[in-house]
Structure 1
């Protein structure tokens, strides 16, 4: 998995029968590849050629992660049933134009490089069926974190924040809430040359700007009812800059961006599952102490927990979800939840590149 945060690749060796991770490898993107992937989120010159080369580079990075996983765990290649490969999202427009989503990956190259069956292109079938193509993780969250008779919410804080709503009666909901790390990461990279705001320390050094926060929260996306999904197509630094005024200190803007994530997420949970008493956080944003403290303050009466408390570290959950989705494909079982994405019905997700 390589997500909207664009930091790099998380790979897991996943025992889907036991819902357990047997190994984990993280590989950061080379700075030049990260910059190119970020640039491909917006229109530019010679896009088709550049996107093809970037897809090849992402695929080679995935293959390296697979090789490292097999070496680290001592598991033979022929024991791997399939490789679930998400690819790198550069455009996500399920409701715009004619409806499409684009994840850069060369599945054929990845199959050649690894000698393992590759299941990829996991979002487009849901979009073709009229769905958002996202979030796809709620079904996996149900399998992993669901509790009979108890309402539990799961919050994934990657580049974008998304909620999974695991109702005690068996119903599952979910949707994208808005930005998580993508704006904060971009802002600190621009002003301090850092890839991310470690523990939210820079944000904590500033003060929230109420007027700016109100302008940011006025973005129509936040008021849309589910099903809904979003990405860097909407939430990017140009979106932020269009709402700034002169004289705002960079650290105060960062504090306001953290508050935007906390507020939009807390408001979404209160509206969609006000009875929830447990919120399980995962994704890189769950390591941001300042963000976690703010979420806890905004959600009194809700126990804010880490996925690590439930057996799966925060940086492994999403990669495990796409391994699980690959297993669903292999078993010819649907991977989407129409109640979450809005698709016309259950669909088999993915395309197969045999080894």
Structure 2
């Protein structure tokens, strides 16, 4: 038996999730424990500035990297203390880092693609006295892939069903899906980013309500959808681009959303329309994936990520996808809040065992690749 810790901080930048995952001799994974720590406000603000800056200083990067690494180490320490474990009990930490910019199509036409995650695995290994696996994305990018999403290979391992079609929907800052054929179907899973989710909902709520997120989607639920605004947003070419595809705050920022406002909209109606945009763009993505596989509409839908607690958003999705069966990921052994962190524990296990960590059917890479660099304890 081996234990790995996965660390994840998503595009919402609201905290660091740590998942302790146990692997038996066959490589079967099980979640043992988890902790989450909030991102300190000063660090969150600095990360936000870095993610939206045209130019940054090395000093700003160094400060943010050190502060972020200290938070990562704190989450690991809490998890070890909670479980009565020592660093030697952990085979490795899988560290995703904090995405600052993701540009799989390059900064402009003709420029090279890139993805940048703020991370310092050497420092993390020193602070935790654990081996660290990091820099998962760039090997897939080097092989011609999008470098995202990476979680579908983990979804395939833990959620694929012998007979049922399943769709895992991660509602993080950006929404992404994984369509899993039954195990009797030889085709590989399909996965891609569908568009914005919590990133725009949280940012608009923070601006107009002063708190980081819309609890349960209550504010959005009280607004009216502006259908004309929704249509203007849905004209964005990304929503109609065939996979492989991935995106981030570089495209779906508040500047992007506000460019289509006429100035007369109620802030609450804009929140409702953003929620409807998420549900509609997810439904468009699911239809695109289903058509590619001729998958049935009556599939199992497994929501995860922070948006899986947004009751208003789930209700909008149910209206968009009336034939889908909603499944709680916790009933399948993997609580929704910890699924992404667990995925990076799984990817760290794959790296130590020299197993592929990507799915070319998802990212568009030329072939399977072992992902991540190893930093000894």
Q: Distance between the aligned counterparts of 2:19 and 2:158, measured in 1?
A: 16
Q: Alignment partner for residue 165 of structure 2, among 151, 156, 174? A: 151
Q: C-alpha offsets along residues 167-206 of structure 1, whole Å, 9 cap, x if unaligned?
A: 1214211000000100000000000111101000000110
Give the unaligned 5+ runs of structure 1: none
Q: Give the aligned partner of residue 304 of structure 2.
A: 282
Q: Alignment partner for residue 345 of structure 1, among 338, 343, 367? A: 367
Q: Give the aligned partner of residue 4 of structure 2.
A: none
- Higher mean alpha-carbon deviation, 323-332 vs 69-78, is at 69-78
Q: Alignment partner for residue 189 of structure 1, among 175, 185, 206? A: 206
Q: Does the CA-based 8 Å contact 1:266-1:298 persist in structure 2?
A: yes
SS of match in other structure, 1:316 = helix
Q: Alignment partner for residue 125 of structure 2, among 111, 119, 123? A: 111
Q: Give the aligned partner of residue 21 of structure 1.
A: 31
Q: Alignment partner for residue 225 of structure 2, among 197, 201, 208? A: 208
Q: Distance between the aligned counterparts of 1:269 and 1:109, measured in 2?
A: 40
Q: Does the CA-based 8 Å contact 1:16-1:323 persist in structure 2?
A: no
Verify: 1:9 aligned to 2:16, yes or no.
yes
Q: Distance between the aligned counterparts of 1:73 and 1:335, measured in 2?
A: 28
- Number of aligned positions between the proteins: 355
Q: Give the aligned partner of residue 55 of structure 1.
A: 65
Q: C-alpha offsets along residues 72-109 of structure 1, whole Å, 9 cap, x if unaligned?
A: 01122211000000000010011212111000011111
Q: Distance between the aligned counterparts of 2:362 and 2:62, measured in 1?
A: 31
Q: Give the aligned partner of residue 150 of structure 2.
A: 136
Q: Does the CA-based 8 Å contact 1:132-1:341 persist in structure 2?
A: yes
Q: Distance between the aligned counterparts of 2:331 and 2:312, measured in 1?
A: 19
Verify: 1:33 aligned to 2:43, yes or no.
yes
The Cα shift of 1:304 comes to 1.6
Q: Does the CA-based 8 Å contact 1:126-1:347 persist in structure 2?
A: yes
Q: Does the CA-based 8 Å contact 1:179-1:261 persist in structure 2?
A: yes
Q: Alignment partner for residue 336 of structure 1, among 339, 358, 369? A: 358
TM-score by length of 2: 0.92
Q: Does the CA-based 8 Å contact 1:7-1:34 persist in structure 2?
A: yes
Q: Give the aligned partner of residue 253 of structure 1.
A: 270
- Higher mean alpha-carbon deviation, 133-142 vs 275-284, is at 275-284
The Cα shift of 1:44 comes to 4.4
Q: Does the CA-based 8 Å contact 1:262-1:294 persist in structure 2?
A: yes
Q: Distance between the aligned counterparts of 1:265 and 1:100, measured in 2?
A: 25
Q: Give the aligned partner of residue 79 of structure 1.
A: 89
Q: Distance between the aligned counterparts of 1:80 and 1:330, measured in 2?
A: 12
Structure 1: 4+ residue segments shifted above 6 A = none
Aligned positions of 1:301-316 closer than 5 A:
301-316=323-338
TM-score by length of 1: 0.98
Q: Give the aligned partner of residue 5 of structure 2.
A: none
Q: C-alpha offsets along residues 5-36 of structure 1, whole Å, 9 cap, x if unaligned?
A: 11110001111334211111100101111111
SS of match in other structure, 2:327 = strand
Q: Does the CA-based 8 Å contact 2:31-2:333 persist in structure 1?
A: no
SS of match in other structure, 2:51 = coil
CA-atom RMSD in angstroms: 1.1
Give the unaligned 5+ runs of structure 2: 1-7
Q: C-alpha offsets along residues 245-283 of structure 1, whole Å, 9 cap, x if unaligned?
A: 111000000000000000000121122125141110100
Q: Distance between the aligned counterparts of 2:134 and 2:65, measured in 1?
A: 12
Q: Does the CA-based 8 Å contact 1:118-1:353 persist in structure 2?
A: yes
